[in-house]
Amino acid sequence: MPNNTLLNAWERLPESVKTPLRIGSCGQPHLLEAARAASETGEEDLWRDLLLSACAESPVNGDLAMQLFGLVEQRGWGSPELLQALRGVAAEWRKPGNLDYFLRLAAKRDTLKIQNFLDKQLSRPPASLFWISQALLQTVVAYDPQRALHLLERFSELSPLLDKPRADMLAFLGRFDEAKEVYARIGALFGEAQQCLWLGQLALHAGDRDRGAGLLARALLLQPWRTSLAFRLDDLLHGRDEEVCDPPGATAVCLYTFNKAEELRATLDSLSRCRLEGARVFVLDNGATDHTAQVLDSFSDRFGDLFHRIDLPVNVGAAAARNWLASIEEVAACDFVCYMDDDITLPPDFLGRLGAAVRCYPDAFVYGCKVCDDAAPPCLQAVDYHLRRPGQPQEPEQPPRIEPWKPHLQILDMGQFDYLRPCVSTTGCLHLFPASTLRRSGGFSIQLSPSQYDDFEHDLRLGLKGGFAAYQGSLRILHKKRTGMAGHVDRQQLGNALGNKLKVEWTHAESDMAGLIQQDEQRLEADLRERFARLDEMIGEVGEASL
C-alpha cells in the first residue's frame, strides 16, 4: 500500500466536511450534516457514502428512506436489494399527522403509559414502521433487549432493514454468533465497508481484538473519512486502550453527597473494590438528612486510615462542595485530585486508566472518561466534548451560543468512543485534576449551583487560558442518574439548568469562544494527521481480516 494513503485522503476533504468529521463519523444526524457539506461542495462520491452510512446507522427511519430511495434509484447508488429495502421502509413508514398526545407522554417519561400506548398502536393493522421504531426506542431506554427481539420477530416481514436493531440487541445479550450472521446479512446491503465496520465492532465487543482490528482497518481503507475508526484503530494497534499506570504522585479521591444514601453505599462499595494504590478518600456529607451518616460509618473500617469524612450542617451545593474539598489541607498537599459523583459504578482499574491518560497527555488540565447509563448500559451519557461554531452571527447584545457536539446521543455504545484524545471538556461524573490546575483555576463557580454546568464552565475557563482537557474513552463508568436519551428532569430542574447555561454564555465573550473553538479544531486536526500518518505505516497488513 502506498504511504500516506489515509493522510492524503483526509487532506483532500473540503474544510466544511472536515469540521463535523473531526468530531467523529457516527450518529445519523451527525453524518447527515457531513453529507450536506459534501453535497454543497460537489463531492458526489463522498456525499453518497455519507448518506448511505447515515441510513445504515438507523435504517428504519422512513423520513430518510423516502429521500434516499429517490437518489438511489436515480443515480444508481447501492444494490437492487438496498433499493427494494428502502422502497419497503418508505411504504411502511406512515407517520401520523398529529403526535401531540404521544409527545406529551414522551415528555413525562411515564414508561408504562408509553408502552401501553405503543402496544395499542401496534395492534391496529396495518402496522407502521413509525410506531415500531418508537417502540424499539422505548425498549432501549428501558433496556429490555428480549422485548425488542420479540417485537422485531413479530414484524420481521415488513423490512429486512429491521435486521440492524435485531443484530444490536443480540450483541448486547452476548449472542455473538447470531449477531455476526445478522450483521453480515444486513451489512451486505450497504456495502463491504459497512459490513466490516459492524463485524469489527462486534468482534471487539466479543473480545476478539485481532479480528476486530483487522475488520476496522479494512473499513477505514475503503472509507478513509471514517475518523471514529481512525481514533479507535490507532489506539488499538498501539496498545493505548490497554495501558494502566498509577498517576505520578499522591492522589486524593473526593466525593460529595446529599440525601442519596443507598446510591452512596453502592458507589463506596464499588470504590472499595478498586486498586487505589494508597490514594486517600475524602467524602463530604453535604448536610444530608437521610441515613447517609450511617452509611459513612459503615465504610470507615473498610477503608481504614485512608478514609476521611467531612460533615456539613447544610447543603452548600456541588460547586462549593468541590471548592471545600480542594481546600482541605491533606487534599491540597496531594499531586492529583479525583472528583467523583456519589451514584456511579467504577471498574477496578479506573485510577490506572486515568493515570495512563496523564502519561499520554501530561500537559492536560483535567482527565475524564466515558459515562454510560447504569440502567441501560448501551446508552451513552457523556464522552469528549467539543464546541460547535454558532450557526448564525450573534447580535451585539446577545451572548454566544455555547453548544457541544453530541453525536454520542445518536447511537448505542459499541465502542465508537473508546479512544484517548484531547478535547475542550470532560464530564464531572469522574475526572482527575492535577493539583496545580485547581490552585490556579480560581475554583468552581458557586453561582452555577446546583446544575452540572459548574464543571463545564471550569473547563471553559481553563481552556481560555490555552489549556486542554484529555478524554480517556477506555475508562467506562456507569451513572445512575439518567441523562441523554434516557434522562428526565422536571420543569424546575430544567429551568435551573437553562438559567445556568445562560449564565455561562453571558460570562464569556463571543470572541473568546471563537478562539477556544479554533484552538480545539487545530488540536484535533494535528491529532488526526498524526493518527493517519501512524496508521499509514501499518494498516495495509492489518486490514487483511476475512469477513
pLDDT digit string (tens) for 171-208? 999 999 999 999 999 999 999 999 999 999 999 999 99
Helix (H) or strand (E) holding 228: helix 227-237
pLDDT at residue 60 greater than cutoff 80: yes
**What mean pLDDT, rounded, does the chain reach?**
91
Distance in angstroms (rounded) separating the CA atoms of residues 19 and 33 = 10
Q: How high is the pLDDT of residue 182? A: 97
Angle in degrees, 0-180, between the axes of helices 453-463 and 318-327, rounded to the nearest 10: 60
The C-alpha cell 428504519 sits at: 60
Q: 538: exposed, middle or buried (C-beta count within 10 Å: 0-12, 13-18, 19+)? A: middle
Distance in angstroms (rounded) separating the CA atoms of residues 357 and 370 = 13
Of 56-60, 93-97, 152-156, 508-512, which range is least confident?
A: 508-512
Q: How high is the pLDDT of residue 277? A: 87
pLDDT at residue 1 greater than cutoff 50: no
Angle in degrees, 0-180, between the axes of helices 176-190 and 44-57, rounded to the nearest 10: 150
At position 308, the amino acid (one-letter code) is H
Three-class secondary structure of residue 521 per DSSP: helix
Three-class secondary structure of residue 146 per DSSP: helix
pLDDT at residue 3 greater than cutoff 80: no
pLDDT at residue 459 greater than cutoff 60: yes
Q: How high is the pLDDT of residue 497? A: 66
Segments of 204-297 assigned E as strands: 251-257, 280-286
All residues at 6 or more sequence positions from 115 whose CB lies less than 8 Å from its CB, including other chains: 135, 138, 142
Residue closest to 471 by CA, chosen among 399, 396, 404: 404
Distance in angstroms (rounded) separating the CA atoms of residues 18 and 387 = 14
Three-class secondary structure of residue 143 per DSSP: coil
Q: How high is the pLDDT of residue 71? A: 86
Mean pLDDT within 535-540: 86
Name residue 385's beta-bridge partners. Answer: 425
Distance in angstroms (rounded) separating the CA atoms of residues 432 and 10 = 33
Model confidence at 111, in pLDDT bands (50, 70, 90)?
A: confident
Helix (H) or strand (E) holding 190: helix 176-190
**pTM here?**
0.93
Q: What is the dihedral of CA 235, 464, 337, 499, to 10 degrees?
A: -110
Three-class secondary structure of residue 469 per DSSP: strand
Q: How high is the pLDDT of residue 412? A: 95
Q: What is the pLDDT of residues 296-308, one digit of tens each?
A: 999 998 999 999 9
Q: What is the pLDDT of residues 484-520, one digit of tens each?
A: 444 444 556 566 666 767 777 767 778 888 999 999 9
Three-class secondary structure of residue 275 per DSSP: coil
Mean pLDDT within 288-314: 94
Q: What is the pLDDT of residues 325-367, one digit of tens each?
A: 999 999 999 999 999 999 999 999 999 999 999 999 999 999 9
Q: How high is the pLDDT of residue 507? A: 76
Residue closest to 345 by CA, chosen among 272, 418, 421: 272
Q: What is the pLDDT of residues 234-282, one digit of tens each?
A: 999 999 999 999 999 999 999 999 999 999 999 999 999 999 989 999 9
| Cα dist from 30 to 13, 21, 89, 159, whole Å | 17, 9, 21, 24
Q: How high is the pLDDT of residue 50? A: 96
Model confidence at 155, in pLDDT bands (50, 70, 90)?
A: very high
Q: How high is the pLDDT of residue 544? A: 62
In this structure, what C-alpha cell is assigned to residue 289?
Answer: 438528612
Q: How high is the pLDDT of residue 107? A: 83
All residues at 6 or more sequence positions from 166 whose CB lies less than 8 Å from its CB, including other chains: 148, 149, 152, 156, 182
pLDDT at residue 394 greater than cutoff 60: no
Q: How high is the pLDDT of residue 78? A: 81
pLDDT at residue 112 greater than cutoff 60: yes
Model confidence at 145, in pLDDT bands (50, 70, 90)?
A: very high
Q: What is the pLDDT of residues 375-387, one digit of tens each?
A: 999 999 999 999 9
All residues at 6 or more sequence positions from 158 whose CB lies less than 8 Å from its CB, including other chains: 88, 92, 127, 129, 132
pLDDT at residue 30 greater than cutoff 60: yes
Q: What is the dihedral of CA 18, 20, 21, 26, to 10 degrees?
A: -160
Cis status of the peptide bond prior to 396, with omega within 30 of 0: no
Q: How high is the pLDDT of residue 547? A: 64
